[in-house]
Amino acid sequence: MRYLPLSEADRVSMLDKIGVGSIDDLFIDVPQPARRSGTVDLPVYTGELEVEAQLQAFAAQNVSPAKVPFFVGAGAYRHHIPATVDHIIQRSEFLTSYTPYQPEIAQGTLQVLFEFQTQVARLTGMPVANASLYDGSTAAAEGVLMATRVTKRSKAVLSGGLHPHYRETVETLAHAVGITTEACDLAIDDEAEVLNHIDADTACVVVQTPNVFGTATDLTQIAAAAQAAGALLIVVVTEVMSLGLLKSPGEMGADVVAVEGQSIGVPLSFGGPYVGLFAVKEKYLRQMPGRLCGETVDADGERGFVLTLSTREQHIRRDKATSNICTNSGLCALAFSIHMSLLGQEGLKRVARINYAKAHALRDRLAAVPGVEVVTPRFFNEFTVKLPKAAAGVVEALAAQGVLGGVPVSRLGVAPEFDNHLIVATTETVSDRDMDAFVQALKAVL
């Protein structure tokens, strides 16, 4: 067996050293009724060649986005990832190390986390950031929990532009801990509605920009209203690339920012693992969930980095911890940080402008298709169209024509008034020919 180095001779002599006669003697504490003879009913040991073929067979039943015109987004986006990123994250020292609890032999990971936190803070326009959470949706949920700790209030207002899967994730966690949520009806551009829900019990307002329909929103007013009422504004961003062009949440007055970082450095991978970016105002630093990396010095006075403020965390505080989080998304944070440092501000701004330009070019072309109405007023790289028939059927028909044409709103939850709405994303990976194919196929299936 290729992953097991012990030989039979090793096993025999080791049992001898231990002073037992057989391997079964090491399992004597297992109660008799739970002992099993033989193996469980599953296939047996298989060589690398055959396993590879089995996995390829699964892959062959999927349509790879690289092979078709591809416009699917709604919270996860196909972007080009430089080859360097995947090469570096596969280095043994990053891939196969544990959480950096022994800082003397983990300065590589720790410096990366310090740089990551700084990148996230600058990108979101916030003073501090943590070392990552699982993904954007759980980051949003942790933001709500944090807001209730800070304000000692227990109501969260959720905007109608929040991705419905994010809304459900937030509701699940919030309700489990006794927080009430008021979710506004799904809405393309109605952030003013959230103002009506803010009152003296409100711990936080959760608003997404660009929202699930792609609408970019000025949150300045909501920030002011929330803060005037003693509540926190939590800004959710599911397309981090948008921060290369759009006003940052910090600039608009956010107290907490929860971002899905997948677009920078992390492959789509059918929904995970991704990386949650989490940034807050300085005064909430000690209320933040998740790991934090901080600068310090070593015994020689040299700069070094450690995980810090761990008295907030479960392994120290146990039942009094700020959250139960242990593992975070370290390797995805590394991928994000490498890609971000390759982009730099110049690269990020350029790729953001290209996304914007392509999406707007597609908007103009789809708007010219009879029966198609573009309903998103202001957007970055994603917008929503209203079709003359149910979007779910159109998407399947497009797929049959070899075009993956977006996400029907109905895929995200039941909302009959949006059955004909289709969310369309356009990134730098989309070519003019892809757009031609989309427009032609759409005309054919409508």
- Within 195-214, the residues that bind other proteins by CB under 8 A are none
The greatest distance separating any two alpha carbons of the chain, rounded to the nearest whole angstrom, comes to 82
In the bound state with other proteins, the residue whose beta carbon lies nearer, of 229 and 373, is 373
Element (DSSP H or E) covering residue 355? helix 330-367
- Please give the Cα distance from 258 to 280 (Å, whole number): 9
Residue 350 CB, shortest distance to other proteins, in Å, is 4
Residue 372 CB, shortest distance to other proteins, in Å, is 18
Residue 407 CB, shortest distance to other proteins, in Å, is 5
Residue 20 CB, shortest distance to other proteins, in Å, is 7
In the bound state with other proteins, the residue whose beta carbon lies nearer, of 268 and 446, is 268
Asked if 192 touches other proteins (CB under 8 A), the answer is no
Q: Which of 188, 348, 372, 424 binds other proteins (CB under 8 A)?
A: 348
Residue 342's nearest CA partner among 117, 80, 127 is: 80
Asked if 421 touches other proteins (CB under 8 A), the answer is no
Instruction: Give the burial string for 246-277 (b: 16+ CB within 10 Å, else e).
Output: bbbbbebbbbbbbbbbbbbbbbbeeeeebbbb
Asked if 148 touches other proteins (CB under 8 A), the answer is no
In the bound state with other proteins, the residue whose beta carbon lies nearer, of 199 and 389, is 389
Asked if 351 touches other proteins (CB under 8 A), the answer is yes
- Please give the Cα distance from 94 to 112 (Å, whole number): 10
Please list every residue from 149 through 188 that binds other proteins, using CB under 8 A: 163, 165-166, 168-169, 171-173, 175-178
Please list every residue from 259 through 278 that binds other proteins, using CB under 8 A: 260, 267-273, 275
**Alpha helix positions (H), 133-231:** 136-151, 164-176, 192-195, 220-228
Q: Which of 17, 152, 185, 200 binds other proteins (CB under 8 A)?
A: 17
Stretch that binds other proteins, among 152-160, 180-188, 240-248, 435-443 (CB under 8 A): 240-248
| Tokens representing residue 375 in the block | 């309903």
Stretch that binds other proteins, among 110-118, 149-157, 199-207, 431-439 (CB under 8 A): 110-118
Residue 429 CB, shortest distance to other proteins, in Å, is 11
Q: Which of 69, 136, 160, 265 binds other proteins (CB under 8 A)?
A: 136
| Tokens representing residue 261 in the block | 């970082």
Stretch that binds other proteins, among 7-15, 150-158, 189-197, 225-233 (CB under 8 A): 7-15
Query: Which residues face 208 on adjacent strands?
Result: 236
Please list every residue from 68 through 87 that binds other proteins, using CB under 8 A: 70, 72, 74-76, 78, 82, 84, 86-87
Q: Which amino acid belongs to residue 85?
A: V
Stretch that binds other proteins, among 60-68, 149-157, 196-204, 364-372 (CB under 8 A): 60-68
Residue 133's nearest CA partner among 253, 382, 339, 313 is: 313
Residue 88 CB, shortest distance to other proteins, in Å, is 5
Stretch that binds other proteins, among 148-156, 221-229, 330-338, 437-445 (CB under 8 A): 330-338
- Please give the Cα distance from 283 to 256 (Å, whole number): 11
Dihedral sign (CA 113, 117, 119, 123): positive
Asked if 415 touches other proteins (CB under 8 A), the answer is no
How wide is the angle at C-alpha 171 spanned by C-alphas 170 and 176, nearest 5°? 105
Q: Give me the half-sphere count of Cα atoms (radius 13 Å) on the Cβ side of residue 208.
A: 36
Residue 163 CB, shortest distance to other proteins, in Å, is 7
Distances (CA, A) of 299 to 103, 104, 105, 293: 12, 11, 14, 18
Asked if 367 touches other proteins (CB under 8 A), the answer is no
In the bound state with other proteins, the residue whose beta carbon lies nearer, of 82 and 371, is 82
Asked if 388 touches other proteins (CB under 8 A), the answer is no
Asked if 248 touches other proteins (CB under 8 A), the answer is yes
In the bound state with other proteins, the residue whose beta carbon lies nearer, of 229 and 374, is 374
- Please give the Cα distance from 30 to 34 (Å, whole number): 7
Exposed, middle or buried, 361 (CB in 10 Å: 0-12/13-18/19+)? middle
- Please give the Cα distance from 435 to 418 (Å, whole number): 24
Exposed, middle or buried, 327 (CB in 10 Å: 0-12/13-18/19+)? exposed
Stretch that binds other proteins, among 58-66, 180-188, 190-198, 436-444 (CB under 8 A): 58-66
Element (DSSP H or E) covering residue 156? strand 155-158
